């Protein structure tokens, strides 16, 4: 069966520290992968999407970067966190064929 | 545990109304959301409803919330071919996270 794992579920990091959130997918190959963020009081904002290994598209300029070292692994990173990076981060995947999408459990990041 | 359920497919004719239904389990959800995903694009927030409201209308969109039955619906009036997309229901979970349904693919036939 198809599943998606995202960790950690919650994270508290000091300003200026690095960040690495990982997302892995099982049960499919060559998925489209997405990183979203929801800041307090706002809807989801698409941060990055990837249609294949090493192919990353960024929707908004920011303090974050993404990488896809393997077909079913998507990593969200930052070298130095800012207070404004606090939020709820969600990983998702779909097949790119216009059918259902699958979402990770999300990571609640608090930068202090 | 927290869960959101919605049917996977809906097909309507252009000009008709579309109703997409969703059930959720977390009664402590503060907000309930409808997102739209068009082919090749990310999720777009369509509308949301605060949990103490029964209805919210925004142009062609009407959201109905039955908190007792934990049932949320999205009605699209005068459905157009451009409305063809996947529609996701989501609830704000008790841990402050978002929980999504798997999405309903809306197909609009001319």
Residues of chain A positioned with their CB less than 8 A from the CB of B98: 38, 44, 88, 90, 106
In this predicted model, what pLDDT tens digit does every residue of B53-90 receive, in sequence order? Answer: 899 999 999 999 999 999 999 999 999 999 999 999 98
d(CA B22, CA B3): 10
- CB neighbour list of residue B82: distance below 8 Å, 6 or more residues apart: none
Residue in B43, B86, B97 closest to A100 by CB: B86
**DSSP class of B83:** G
Q: How confident is the model at residue A29 (pLDDT cuts 50, 70, 90)?
A: confident
Percent of chain A's residues with pLDDT above 90:
44
Q: Do residues B83 and A96 make contact, with C-beta atoms less than 8 angstroms apart?
A: no
Which residue reads 């690495």 in tokens? A20
Residue B94, pLDDT score: 56
Is residue B31 scored above 90 in pLDDT? no
| Both tokens assigned to A73 | 């692994």
Beta bridge pairs of residue A36: A46, A90
Hey, are the CB atoms on A34 and B42 less than 8 Å from each other?
Answer: yes
Q: Does B40 touch chain A (CB under 8 A)?
A: yes
| Both tokens assigned to B65 | 């919330």
Q: Does A59 touch chain B (CB under 8 A)?
A: yes
Half-sphere exposure of residue A52, counting CA atoms within 13 Å on the CB side?
A: 0
Q: Do residues B15 and B79 make contact, with C-beta atoms less than 8 angstroms apart?
A: yes
């Amino acid at each position: 069966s198809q599943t998606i794992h995202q960790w950690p579920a919650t994270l508290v990091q000091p300003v200026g520290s690095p960040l690495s959130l990982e997302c892995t997918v099982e049960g499919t190959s060559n998925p489209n992968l997405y990183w979203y963020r929801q800041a307090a009081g706002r809807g989801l904002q698409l941060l990055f999407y990837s249609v294949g290994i090493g192919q990353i598209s960024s929707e908004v300029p920011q303090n974050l970067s993404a990488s896809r070292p393997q077909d079913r692994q998507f990593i969200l990173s930052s070298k130095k966190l800012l207070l404004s990076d606090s939020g709820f981060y969600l990983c998702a995947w779909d097949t790119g064929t216009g059918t259902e999408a699958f979402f990770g459990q999300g990571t609640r990041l608090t930068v202090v | 545990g927290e869960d959101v359920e919605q049917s996977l497919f809906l097909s309507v004719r252009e000009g008709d109304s579309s109703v997409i239904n969703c059930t959720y389990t977390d009664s402590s959800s503060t907000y309930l959301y409808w997102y739209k995903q068009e082919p090749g694009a990310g999720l777009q927030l369509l509308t949301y409803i605060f949990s103490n409201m029964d209805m919210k209308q925004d142009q062609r969109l009407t959201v109905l919330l039955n908190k007792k039955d934990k049932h949320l619906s999205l009605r699209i009036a005068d459905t157009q071919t451009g409305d063809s997309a996947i529609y996701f229901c989501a609830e704000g979970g008790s841990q402050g996270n978002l929980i999504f349904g798997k999405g309903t693919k809306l197909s609009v036939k001319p």
